A and B are shown apart, each in its own frame.
Chain A
Amino acid sequence: MYTGRLIRNIRMGIKTLLLHKLRSALTMLGVVFGVGSVIAMLSVGEGASQQALEQIRKLGSTNILIHSTRPTDEQTDGQRRRISIFGLHYDDDLRIRESFPDVLRTVPVKQIPMEGRLGSRSLDLRIVATTSDWFDLVPRRIIAGRTLNASDDDQRRNVVVLTEHGARRLLATASTVGETIRLGGNAFRVVGIIRNEEAVGGAQIPDSRIDAYIPLEVGKERFGDIILRRSAGQTERELVELHSIIVEVRSVDAVERTAEAIERMLSTWHPRGDYEMNVPLALLRQAEEQQRIWNWTLGSVAGISLLVGGIGIMNIMLASVTERTREIGIRRAIGARKRQIVAQFLIETVVLAALGGLIGILLGPLLAVVIREFSGIPTIVPAYAVILSVGISMVVGIVFGLYPAARAANLDPIQALRHE
């Protein structure tokens, strides 16, 4: 009975709206674009967040990354030293591994710039000397062959794993696996080729521009700790034992605690502050927080356009109430109660808003696709955005319909009948 009347009222409302098709369509447009932009904006936010989070997750959320940095005092004191000594030590690696119960293992990383030769080609390569654990902590896709393994470390084999980047520079292909390249005069057998990962803002991934990997002990033995850097015609010598240490922590809960403890320990051994720590988990948290703010910002901007849409509806409904004053008077004279008049006008605005919302829901993802195509920003339409905008458009209809409807209902029937 009640729903029957509601359906009749809705049909009646639609019929009334259809009397002024253009006006109704234009009124609806505000909500269409409001809802559409809410969905599109939230999709942009969601897409960006998924991308950022995914990249940070690749760093490993249970990892702590420590990098050697050139201390600032050395750069500013003006005098040219014959050799710069800074950075993490082999002992730091040992201490971190031994002193913290939550540390599962560490991966020491040494960077060696070295000339490499394959056949007649010769190139300056960036080589990383590390242990086989590196490939567990920072998984990389194998293109051919294999990665370093524990026996390469133990037996100090002269083996090298090329990155795709390095392989391309050497003009080598997957079939290079098994061949020999020369690194600084030593012969190394190519055992595999892996894919590089791109760097993510803030967190430097150890291999973003690395060409080759060799076992740490081999690197130490063959090339020592002193690096020659040539820049602007000058040769500079650097003594850095380890360039990075990747620390794997037992669980996500222990990451921040352990990072603080390591920081405390390192700061006593390195008063010059010649290292820096990156905690992907903290970055993740930070990124999530940033994302939240970003989502709110985008959502609010879109929400404002929805608000404008709502005001548009209210404006038109107020005009409609004035225009239909006589009709309201007639209905009231016949016996319609105030709340029935309210219902009639409210249904019209809600129908407008809901229909606008529905079209907006179709438009939003379309807009998201267009944004993706033209800007390259990844977009993901989250389900909550759709549900949210359905809800919002209904609320917009009710909120902005209520005042015009109340105004219609509160007209004095006698005055209303006399109108015009």
Chain B
Amino acid sequence: MTRLLNPPEAEPATSQPAPGAAIELDDVRKVYLMGNERVNALAGVTLRIPRAGYWAIMGPSGSGKSTMLNLLGCLDRPTSGRYLLAGQDVSRLDDDQLSGIRLQKLGFVFQSFNLIAQLSVQENIELPLQYLGWEPGRAKDRAAELASLVGLADRLNHRPRELSGGQQQRVAIARSLANDPEVILADEPTGNLDSVTSRQIMELLTRLHGEGKTIILVTHERDIAAYSRTQLHMKDGLVDSIEGEQ
């Protein structure tokens, strides 16, 4: 298996593994206003996730897991508190800047795969590269490499609906890797998959972790969480407990 996570131009940056945290949260709160009611989706989270961490976020429904992941993924801004992503404070950036951060540093994997239906596998994988302004030929090569990394080299021209759920999720993982992100965020990546396929997906993520990626996933299932190195339990918008490596 070839190592494909570092695109050529990114090599110098990643060849010197910088110490320190991938993610640091300092008393991060997220308050939703529902009419007159305030919902403390995150009620003050302080947290440090090191580089190359492999974390699973767990907890009952409504405990704030998705809210946390959205914040970590720069899809949202905290109501208060500070968020450092790879040392950069991203808690007060504007929408364009957050888009830039997502484009450069983050990869997303969703429960419902979220591939664009009218695009082929290759085009879906290329999507971040398009926004990064990659030249089409290079983007195509990289998409092919990533497809073979997730074992779908022969499906490049297929549409998402022609693939099984597990295959679609592998395409989504390939896409999340295209920009060689600092952190891969996955919200219940196996939530829509059967146990065999779930295992394949988790093995793939585990392999990526083995190659140095920081991976944070949300899951309800213990056996999925068991693949990770650290388990973070949430309750009522707060960190309840952390087990495993830190």
Contact = CB atoms under 8 A, between A and B. Distances in A.
Given A1-B133, A5-B133, A414-B70, A335 B110 contact: no
A337 B95 CA distance: 8
Interface residues of A, number: 24
Contacts of A336: 99, 103, 131
Contacts of A16: 118
B34 to A, nearest CB: 14
Interface string A402-420: 0000000000011001000
Contacts of A327: 116-117
B157 to A, nearest CB: 14
A335 B76 contact: no
Nearest to A327: B116
A417 B110 contact: yes
Contacts of A1: 133
Contacts of A326: 114
A145 to B, nearest CB: 79
Contacts of A330: 114-116, 127
Contacts of B104: 335
B70 A334 contact: no
Contact of A333 (B75, B117, B133): B75
B20 interface: no
Contacts of B106: 335
A19 interface: yes
A335 B99 contact: yes
B73 interface: yes
Contacts, number: 65
Interface string A329-342: 11111111111100
A413 B96 contact: no
A21 interface: no
B136 interface: yes
B55 interface: no
A8 interface: yes
Contacts of B118: 15-16, 19
Given A1-B133, A8-B130, A334 B75 contact: no
A332 B179 CA distance: 15
A367 to B, nearest CB: 35
Contacts of A335: 99-104, 106, 128, 131-132, 179
A329 B187 CA distance: 15
14 contacts: A1-B133, A4-B135, A327-B116, A330-B114, A331-B116, A333-B73, A333-B108, A334-B102, A334-B103, A335-B103, A335-B106, A337-B99, A417-B75, A417-B114
Nearest 8 CB-CB pairings of A with B: A335-B103, A335-B102, A337-B99, A330-B114, A334-B128, A413-B75, A333-B108, A337-B96
Interface of B: 70, 73, 75-76, 95-96, 99-104, 106, 108, 110, 114-118, 127-128, 130-133, 135-136, 175, 179
Interface of A: 1, 4-5, 8, 15-16, 19, 326-327, 329-340, 413-414, 417
